[in-house]
Amino acid sequence: AQSVTQLGSHVSVSEGALVLLRCNYSSSVPPYLFWYVQYPNQGLQLLLKYTTGATLVKGINGFEAEFKKSETSFHLTKPSAHMSDAAEYFCAVTPEYGNKLVFGAGTILRVKS
Amino acid sequence: DGGITQSPKYLFRKEGQNVTLSCEQNLNHDAMYWYRQDPGQGLRLIYYSQIVNDFQKGDIAEGYSVSREKKESFPLTVTSAQKNPTAFYLCASSIAIQGSYEQYFGPGTRLTVT
């Protein structure tokens, strides 16, 4: 069975500062990993995903994440936060050929001016 | 424009009433999903369907029912048996891309039961 842990239910950064949102997963088989973003009262939008191949994955809006198998992690980063990045972020995992996503509890990102 | 529509955006019901949430997609996706979202708990899977006329229970199916008579539609009924129905409900659909079932989400329906 898969599970996802997102460290920190709330993260606060200053505008222009580095954004780091942490995600650790457990999986008995090679995982596919996803980061989604949710703005208030809206659905989820895919930021990026890791399936196979390059372990550093680039996504939309300047975000990227690195799959580290030895650490079972898939942390999300952005070099410089923008006010528009304020939202809730979800990490999710599914096994290869799996059709069900398992989500973490989410991290709310606050960006201070 | 291809996408997933959910209606209505906000829904209010009295306790003891059944209510049906609509989900329609024009992405030609085979699989569809219903999630419930509560603050601090992430998304929890209610039901999913991989093909027309077939669906499976997710992690929290009690008090909910679904149907999948058409590929494009996957309505969710919240019954009076659901003890705590007030929540944000999200519908999603997916197609296999390189073996990964990447999911696309609708805008959600916020249900309030009093």
As a whole number of angstroms, the distance between CA B36 and CA B48 comes to: 12
* Token representation of residue A86: 């304020």
In angstroms, the Cα distances linking B91 to A28, A94, B14, B29 are 28, 18, 23, 13
3-class SS of residue B59: coil
Q: pLDDT tens-digit profile of A57-70?
A: 999 999 999 999 99
Q: In sequence order, what are the beta bridge partners of A49?
A: A34
Provide the terminal-to-terminal Cα distance of chain A, rounded to the nearest Å: 41
**Residue ranges in chain A whose pLDDT is less than 70:** 96-97
Q: pLDDT tens-digit profile of B53-62?
A: 999 999 999 9
3-class SS of residue A84: helix
**Residue ranges in chain B whose pLDDT is less than 70:** 1
* B chain contacts of residue A51, beta-carbon cutoff 8 Å: 98-100
Of A52, A99, A104, the CB nearest to B50: A99
DSSP for B69-99, please give it: SBTTB--EEE-TT-S---EEEEEEEEEEETT
pLDDT at B1: 62
Interface of A with B in 60-89 (CB under 8 A): none
Are residues A100 and B45, on separate chains, in Cβ contact within 8 Å?
yes
B37's enclosing H/E stretch is: strand B31-37
As a whole number of angstroms, the distance between CA A91 and CA B27 comes to: 24
State the number of CA atoms in the 13 A half-sphere of A80 facing the CB. Answer: 1
Q: pLDDT tens-digit profile of B61-74?
A: 999 999 999 999 99
Amino acid identity for residue A23 in this structure: C
Spatial CB neighbours of B51, under 8 Å, sequence gap ≥ 6: B30, B31, B68
Interface of B with A (CB under 8 A): 4, 6, 9, 31, 33, 40-45, 48, 50, 58, 88, 90, 92, 94, 96, 98-108, 110
pLDDT at A52: 83
- Number of neighbours of residue A22 by Cβ within 10 angstroms: 17
pLDDT > 70 fraction of chain B, expressed in percent and rounded? 96
